[in-house]
Amino acid sequence: VTNVDRTPRNPNLLVWHDRLWLIDHGAALYRHHDQDAWPSDAARRPFPQIRDHVLLPFAGSVAEAGERLAPRLDEATLEAIVGAVPESWLAPGARRAYVDHLLERLATRAFEREAEEVRRGA
């Protein structure tokens, strides 16, 4: 995901009953807001906004987490996740576009390398 809503200016975090909740996921896939203008190479790009993520200084190794968790997100799993989004929320053809975008992000994992580099320097 590419959620820009986790910066000090607008972290969208809620503490409730001593637990941290990440809220407002409207920007998690901000491709949704202008799908036609989305660059074709967007899935292969790093995510420079990660440097402002309020939780990154507290994170463990992003690379290790990626190695452990990425294999769980195969095409069938992503299709099931995207398939759970109500039809009325997506433009025609968008469902497949999201799955393809997420598969390509996982294949290149540029966002993971970027986050790990920033985390090490954080």
Q: Which amino acid is present at 78?
A: L
Give pLDDT tens digits for 29-44.
766 656 666 667 878 8
Task: Give the integer Cα–Cα distance in Å for 59 and 118.
Answer: 11
Q: What is the pLDDT of residues 50-65, one digit of tens each?
A: 899 999 999 999 999 9
Task: Place 120 in a pLDDT band, splitting at 50, 70 and 90.
Answer: very high
Q: Which helix (H) or strand (E) holds 14?
A: strand 13-16
Q: Tell me the per-residue pLDDT of 79-95, one tens digit each, with 9 for 90 and over.
A: 999 999 898 888 878 88
Mean pLDDT of 55-78: 96
Taking the model in full, what pTM does it have? 0.80
Q: How far apart are CA 41 and CA 95, in angstroms?
A: 18
Domain boundaries, the chain: 35-121
Q: Please, what's the largest Cα pairwise distance for the chain?
A: 43
